[in-house]
Chain A
Amino acid sequence: MKRHKLLPLTETMHYILLALRRPLHGYAIMQEVETVSNGEVRIAAGTLYGAIENLLKYNWIILVPSDDPRRKVYRITDEGLEILEIEKRRFVHILSLYEGGFNDDKV
């Protein structure tokens, strides 16, 4: 199977998808990501906007109806969760290589 063109995810995309496992509006996504990354990742406005547009385009996240028409709330879709699952497998694999996987297998 051919890998999706957005894979592997950029750090920004990754954090956004993880954050959107619960519904959040734009600015709250940035705050959440900043908190969980221990202040390491601070997403700028344009980057967040572009990432949201991209994720919406591939239907990895969707708009959640909300009262405030200017403040849009998003959450992850099943397709988005699948992408996270793919990425998780990739990370687990790389992690296993970190932890001596190279030595045990035939090179």
Chain B
Amino acid sequence: MMIKFKVFSNAHKEEQWLNKMLQNGWQLKSVNAFNVYSFEKTSNKEQILRLDCQSFASEQKFQQYKALYEEFGWVHLGGSRLSTLQYWLNSNSIDDLLFSDQFSEKHYLHRLRKIYGVYACFSLFITFCLFQNSAHFLTIKDAYYTPGLWDKNGFDFLGAFLFETPLAITRFGSPWLMLIFGLVSINMYFKYKREIDKSV
């Protein structure tokens, strides 16, 4: 059993990484919404892992989707109705791809591009709001709310300081993190767009 935390900006890289782990004898067991991957030792290196990008209007649709893939021999390892990315494992080496023609492969890229477009708009909007409504993103000292904190001494100071630090870092860092996330998303959006244009 091995647990890993990793963040990817690219579904293709994520897929490659998961397949590399598989080649090293670690098969993905599950993955949650916070990008925590659980692996299990395996000796079957013939298996292959594929990512799909789908979310569903209803639970019923999600079940139908899973039922169809399972009939083809794919095992659903991760992803929920609204998670967009779906993780599939196949142990028969005949069907090692989720997409068998150019049309559907291209649509997969379209869905990925759309997701990053949504991420970009959303995070840049939040970034804008955060920058607009707060003044803590320039000096971290302003992000400490405790009254009279900087006049305190000794343990009194240390206690209050340590208590407030995670909150201050959140206040100071969140607009910047959102901005970075937004820029990464824009970059991915255009990367997929180029890939789609190339495949015409």
Contact = CB atoms under 8 A, between A and B. Distances in A.
B65 interface: yes
Nearest to A12: B101
B67 A46 contact: no
Interface in A1-37: 10-13, 26-27, 30
14 contacts: A10-B101, A12-B100, A42-B94, A43-B101, A44-B72, A44-B95, A44-B97, A44-B99, A45-B88, A47-B101, A47-B103, A48-B68, A49-B68, A51-B104
Contacts of B99: 44, 46-47, 50
Given A42-B95, A47-B101, 19 more contacts: A10-B101, A12-B101, A12-B103, A12-B104, A13-B103, A27-B71, A43-B101, A45-B69, A46-B69, A47-B98, A47-B99, A47-B100, A48-B68, A49-B65, A51-B104, A70-B64, A71-B67, A71-B71, A72-B64
Interface size class of A (residues with CB under 8 A): 20 to 34
B100 A70 contact: no
Contacts of B108: 46
Interface in B18-74: 52, 63-65, 67-69, 71-72, 74
B68 A27 contact: yes
B51 to A, nearest CB: 10
Nearest to B72: A45
A27 B74 CA distance: 12
A10 B103 contact: yes
B68 to A, nearest CB: 5
Nearest to A27: B71
Interface residues of B, number: 23
Interface of A: 10-13, 26-27, 30, 41-51, 70-72
A13 B69 CA distance: 18
Interface string B113-143: 0000000000000000000000000000000
A26 to B, nearest CB: 5
Contacts of A43: 100-101
Contacts of A12: 100-101, 103-104
A70 B103 CA distance: 26
Contact of A46 (B64, B71, B98): B98
Contacts of B100: 12, 41-44, 47
